[in-house]
């Protein structure tokens, strides 16, 4: 009995590893260190995947043998122990199957995550702050490094907009399905009459692009503005116009960065973010064309609500695309969103761009 196959193409994986092993022995490989490093990383990842499946196969066959032996000898303890191992293997296999879905062009990359508040003033800005905290907690729990590149505080509370860089392997692949509008229903802490309010915030995910991805940007198409970085006050407030905002006129894409004290560094970060947003736009256009050719309904576009967070009169967080839901709202807001990410991946969702609804 074997657990290899399925979404993970076993035969092609073995063939690919053979090719990578042959290429790694090329004496001229390291004449291009960047390509060599990528090749070696790909080979290591593939080796690890194949090794993990082989180990699971061995454990499965050993457990089946133990069950047969236990049944022959009437030893219920051995049978129960082996069945527990198989149950654990099944859970591991399901997770590995989901990971194998992260095979998109940029799925291995780090990610930029941008959150913008919708209409509703302080209430919407507080909701944006809650989402910012949720994604930061998720990233930290999953071993990713988080850097705040830009944050515009709300007038009274919360956040108008913010951009995070979430650095680590497959951050974009996991988060790309979070693109869209997120809706909150709750009793507003800012309403003295304790009325129920509905708030909206949009989330946009883009892959961090490296030099291997060529994105052409004409300087003539850019408007570059500088402004004073905002901060919490005290000695760390920047007193020079070091923050940078870049507008790409043909597409209307706007990015900004204020995380560094140097205007030059902020501009470099902002240019990288612009490239990421333009690359994400290209990926979305390709997906829309693919769906149109296949006669599929495409949900790609601004204004699409993907998830509803109801905190009153009951507790329910529901993904409107997959139907996945939970009443453990506090756990989700504390960063436990993996079940939603996994469900979206399993449904083959590529993600939707949201707006300030």
- Indicate which CATH number applies to the domain containing 127: 3.30.70.1660
Q: Calculate the dihedral angle through the C-alpha atoms of 18, 21, 25, 29, rounding to the nearest 10 degrees.
A: 110
Higher-pLDDT residue of 169 and 357 is 169
- Rounded mean pLDDT, 128-154: 95
Provide the domain count of the chain: 2
pLDDT of residue 177: 92
Q: Does residue 159 share a domain with residue 93?
A: no
Is residue 6 pLDDT above 70, yes or no?
Answer: no
Please check whether residue 21 lies inside any domain of the structure: yes
| Tokens 């000898």 -> residue | 73
Q: 242 by DSSP, 3-state: which?
A: coil
E-strand stretches of the chain? 111-117, 145-153, 159-167, 180-187, 196-207, 222-227, 243-248, 253-257, 305-310, 316-319, 325-326
Residue 49 phi, psi (nearest 5):
-65, -45
Q: Does residue 120 share a domain with residue 96?
A: no
Q: Does residue 85 share a domain with residue 39?
A: yes
Please check whether residue 239 lies inside any domain of the structure: yes
Domain span at residue 200?
Answer: 111-346
Q: Does residue 199 share a domain with residue 143?
A: yes
pLDDT bucket at 286, cuts 50 / 70 / 90: confident
pLDDT digits 0-9 by tens, 291-335? 565 454 433 333 468 999 999 999 999 999 999 999 999 999 999
CA distance 208 to 339: 24
Domain end among 100, 127, 154: 100
Rounded alpha-carbon distances, angstroms, from residue 159 to 119, 127, 304: 13, 8, 21
Q: Does residue 196 share a domain with residue 295?
A: yes
Q: What is the DSSP string of 283-338?
A: HHHHHHHHHHHTTPPP--STT-EEEEEE-SSS-EEEETTT--EES-HHHHHTT--H
Q: Which of 104-108, 271-275, 302-306 has the lowest mean pLDDT?
A: 302-306
Q: Does residue 342 share a domain with residue 285?
A: yes
CA distance 242 to 226: 6
Length of the chain measured in residues: 357
Please check whether residue 244 lies inside any domain of the structure: yes
Please check whether residue 2 lies inside any domain of the structure: no
Q: Does residue 131 share a domain with residue 91?
A: no
Q: Which of 51-55, 102-106, 200-204 has the lowest mean pLDDT?
A: 102-106
Please check whether residue 105 lies inside any domain of the structure: no
pLDDT bucket at 1, cuts 50 / 70 / 90: very low
Q: Does residue 116 share a domain with residue 77?
A: no
pLDDT digits 0-9 by tens, 226-266? 988 765 433 344 446 789 999 999 999 999 999 888 899 99
Please check whether residue 355 lies inside any domain of the structure: no
pLDDT digits 0-9 by tens, 7-63? 456 788 889 899 999 999 999 899 988 788 878 888 887 888 888 889 999 999 999
Q: Residue 81 is part of a domain; what is its CATH number?
A: 1.20.58.410
pLDDT of residue 44: 87
Nearest to 189 by CA among 129, 233, 132, 135: 129
Q: Does residue 140 share a domain with residue 214?
A: yes
pLDDT of residue 138: 98
CA distance 324 to 307: 10
């Amino acid at each position: 009995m074997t657990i290899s196959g399925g979404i993970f193409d076993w035969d092609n994986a073995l063939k690919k590893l053979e090719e990578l092993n042959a290429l790694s022995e090329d004496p001229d490989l390291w004449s291009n260190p960047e390509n060599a490093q990528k090749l070696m990383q790909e080979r290591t990842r593939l080796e690890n995947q194949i090794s993990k499946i082989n180990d699971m196969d061995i454990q499965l066959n050993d457990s089946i043998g133990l069950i047969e032996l236990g049944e022959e000898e009437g030893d219920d303890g051995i049978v129960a122990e082996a069945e527990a191992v198989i149950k654990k293997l099944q859970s591991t296999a399901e997770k590995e199957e989901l990971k194998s879905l992260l095979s998109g062009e940029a799925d291995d990359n780090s990610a930029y995550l941008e959150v913008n508040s919708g209409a509703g003033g302080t209430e919407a800005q507080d909701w944006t702050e809650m989402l910012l905290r949720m994604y930061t907690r998720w990233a930290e729990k999953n071993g990713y490094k988080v850097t705040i590149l830009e944050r515009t505080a709300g007038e009274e509370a919360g956040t108008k907009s913010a951009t995070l860089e979430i650095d680590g392997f497959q951050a974009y692949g996991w988060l790309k399905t979070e693109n869209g509008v997120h809706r909150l229903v709750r009793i507003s802490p800012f309403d003295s009459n304790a009325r129920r309010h509905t708030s909206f915030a949009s989330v946009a995910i883009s892959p961090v692009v490296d030099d291997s991805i060529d994105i052409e940007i004409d300087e003539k198409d850019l408007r570059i503005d500088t402004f004073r970085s905002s901060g919490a006050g005290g000695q760390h407030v920047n007193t020079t116009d070091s923050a940078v905002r870049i507008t790409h006129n043909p597409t209307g894409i706007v990015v900004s960065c204020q995380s560094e004290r140097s205007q030059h560094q902020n501009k470099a970060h902002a240019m990288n973010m612009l490239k990421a947003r333009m690359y994400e736009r290209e990926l979305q256009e390709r997906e829309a064309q693919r769906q149109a050719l296949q006669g599929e309904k495409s949900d790609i576009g601004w204004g699409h609500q993907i998830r509803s967070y109801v905190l009153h009169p009951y507790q329910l967080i529901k993904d409107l695309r997959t139907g996945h839901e939970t009443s453990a709202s506090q756990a989700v807001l504390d960063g436990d969103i993996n079940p939603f990410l996994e469900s979206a991946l399993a449904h083959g969702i590529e993600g939707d761009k949201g707006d300030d609804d």
